[in-house]
Amino acid sequence: MSLSFAKRLDNVETSAIRELFKLLGKPGIISFAGGFPDSAMFDVAGIRQAVDTALSDEPGGALQYGATEGYQPLREQLAGFMQSKGVQGLAGDGLMVTTGSQQALDLLGKTLLEPGSTAIVEGPTFLATIQCFRLYGADLVSAPIDDAGVQVDRLEQLIVQHRPRLVYLIPTFGNPSGAMLSLERRKRVLELAVKHQTLIVEDDPYGDLYFDAPPPPSLLALSHQVPGSRDWLVHCGSLSKVLSPGLRIGWMVAPPALLAKAVMCKQFSDAHTSTFAQATAARYLAAGLMPATLATVRATYGRRALAMGQALRQELGAAVEFVQPQGGLFVWARLTGAGGKLRDAGELAQRAIEQGVAFVPGAPFYCADPDRSTFRLSFATAGEDLIREGVARLGRSLA
Ligand code: PMP
């Protein structure tokens, strides 16, 4: 006799990327494969101070069960953080704390998606979102993107055609694409939401990780310019990429009726996000430590992104094309086939492992019609010298 599993699991495969990650343990491999921030960036001293303050100020709050919506001082700090980035009319009660933004995506799946419903996502998009939405039985439709983010005319056609329950976008430094939705398109997306009464989900874990100039305001920050759009907008934030993913602090801003349903579902899932982590994050933000941390991560990742871009141009030349990232953690590249070189990034990944460098082929990031010439390189975890060495190995794999 074998175990019987829920039918919904038939919709999801374990990711091809997992298989690749098994190879990363090989000694000497330089990895551009992960989506992790660099653990050397963690502000250990600041977090220790925040833990101490949380435990001495309010041990009951930090160690006891808490409200499902989140620890109130953290909700208020997060609302203040969002206000500092141009969001208007948001109080602590307007957001819920989630266990990473990953949980927000799961709660959206749980509250909005079911077999027969459709979600539109970008092609390519965050792999875990594809899998999570499929687990709830949704049909996924892919909206094409270019360097300025999702193609809005095409998106409108798809909305009219499919009447989706939601449209999931990563407007700023997308994973994996690195693309940044232009200001003009941001406004049009908000107008589409109102015109077609369609829920737009803005997933924004990377918006704070810009290198030189700040990106355009988030959809949430722009929503006050488009009357009615706040009723059709969800915004997911996260401290994972800027402070620490291990804290598992994310948050979701959503229309009140949706927020109430998501809170109900979270109650049955984990009751609440760790109060210890929430109290720590609240004290960290309250102590004003975030601006210095942001300055450090922006400068470090900015240097690494430049080093990777230069090395790619030098070592791979016309065989790859990519847009130099302005923020985030990733270079999204395409094999051009120039000079009769390889065009299949899956094959390149295999060869690259043999040369001692790992990256992720792009195909699994598409819910349909994968572009097999694409691949994702993370510049977050290796220093500049290792980046140059890794890209040189990549060049040798392609030779
Ligand atoms: N959304 C996107 C686009 C991501 O890249 C990630 C992490 N890789 C997440 C959500 C989840 O992040 P977390 O749960 O750590 O907040």
Shared-domain flag, residues 201 and 252: yes
Instruction: Check residue 122 and give its pLDDT.
Output: 98
pLDDT band at 341 (very low <50, low <70, confident <90, very high): confident
Shared-domain flag, residues 244 and 302: no
Instruction: Check residue 17 and give its pLDDT.
Output: 66
Shared-domain flag, residues 164 and 52: yes
Q: What average pLDDT does this structure show over 142-146?
A: 97
Whether residue 2 is contained in a domain is answered as no
| C-beta of residue 283 within 8 angstroms of C-beta of residue 54 | yes
Q: Provide the token pair at 182.
A: 């232009």
Instruction: Look at residues 253, 288, 323 and tell me which one is the last residue of a structural domain.
Output: 288
Task: Please choose from 15, 101, 180 the residue to mutate so as to test ligand 1's pocket, defined by most ligand atoms within 8 A of CB.
Answer: 101
C-alpha of residue 100 to centroid of ligand 1, in Å:
7
C-alpha of residue 173 to centroid of ligand 1, in Å:
12
Instruction: Look at residues 259, 288, 317 and tell me which one is the last residue of a structural domain.
Output: 288
| C-beta of residue 349 within 8 angstroms of C-beta of residue 366 | no
Whether residue 1 is contained in a domain is answered as no
Paired with 99 in beta bridges are 249
Tell me the per-residue pLDDT of 78-131, one tens digit each, with 9 for 90 and over.
Answer: 999 999 999 999 999 999 999 999 999 999 999 999 999 999 999 999 999 999
Q: In terms of Cα–Cα distance, which of 131, 180, 162 is closest to 366? A: 131
Q: Provide the token pair at 151.
A: 């193609």
In this predicted complex, what is the ipTM? 0.99
C-alpha of residue 341 to centroid of ligand 1, in Å:
34
C-alpha of residue 66 to centroid of ligand 1, in Å:
24
Instruction: Check residue 393 and give its pLDDT.
Output: 98
SS3 annotation, 127-178: HHHHHHHHHCCCEEEEEEEECCEECHHHHHHHHHHHCCCEEEECCECCCCCC
Q: Which atom of ligand 1 is nearest to the CA of 245?
A: 15
Mean pLDDT of the chain: 96
Q: Which atom of ligand 1 is nearest to the CA of 248?
A: 15
Whether residue 240 is contained in a domain is answered as yes
**Ligand 1 binding site (Cβ under 6 Å of any ligand atom):** 35, 100-102, 126, 170, 175, 203, 205, 238, 240, 245, 250
| C-beta of residue 207 within 8 angstroms of C-beta of residue 172 | yes
Residues 6+ apart with CB under 8 A from 81: 285, 290
Tell me the per-residue pLDDT of 2-13, one tens digit each, with 9 for 90 and over.
Answer: 999 999 998 887
How many separate domains does the chain show?
2
pLDDT at residue 23 above 80? no
Packing angle of the helix pair 384-398, 290-316 (nearest 10 deg): 30
pLDDT at residue 399 above 90? no
What share of the chain has pLDDT > 70, as a percent? 97
Instruction: Check residue 272 and give its pLDDT.
Output: 98
Question: Domain range spanning residue 31?
Answer: 7-43+292-398
| C-beta of residue 197 within 8 angstroms of C-beta of residue 230 | no
Instruction: Check residue 16 and give its pLDDT.
Output: 62
Q: CA torsion angle for 45, 37, 299, 329 (degrees, to 10)?
A: -170
Q: CA torsion angle for 203, 206, 207, 212 (degrees, to 10)?
A: -160
C-alpha of residue 306 to centroid of ligand 1, in Å:
23
Shared-domain flag, residues 207 and 352: no
Please state which of the ranges 13-17, 92-96, 247-251, 343-347 shows the lowest mean pLDDT.
13-17
pLDDT at residue 175 above 70? yes
Q: Which atom of ligand 1 is nearest to the CA of 174?
A: 3
pLDDT at residue 262 above 90? yes
Instruction: Look at residues 247, 272, 288 and tell me which one is the last residue of a structural domain.
Output: 288
What's the CA angle centered on 386, arms 335 and 351, to 5 degrees? 40
Whether residue 389 is contained in a domain is answered as yes
Q: What average pLDDT does this structure show over 221-226?
A: 98
pLDDT at residue 19 above 80? no
CATH classification of the domain holding 213: 3.40.640.10
Chain centroid, CA 271 distance in Å: 24
Shared-domain flag, residues 60 and 122: yes
C-alpha of residue 181 to centroid of ligand 1, in Å:
18
Q: What average pLDDT does this structure show over 379-385?
A: 96
Nearest CA to ligand 1 atom 7: 35
Tell me the per-residue pLDDT of 274-325, one tens digit each, with 9 for 90 and over.
Answer: 999 999 999 999 999 999 999 999 999 999 999 999 999 999 999 999 999 9
pLDDT at residue 15 above 70? no
pLDDT band at 26 (very low <50, low <70, confident <90, very high): confident
Q: Between 2 and 169, where is the model more confident?
A: 169
Q: Provide the token pair at 293.
A: 């941390």
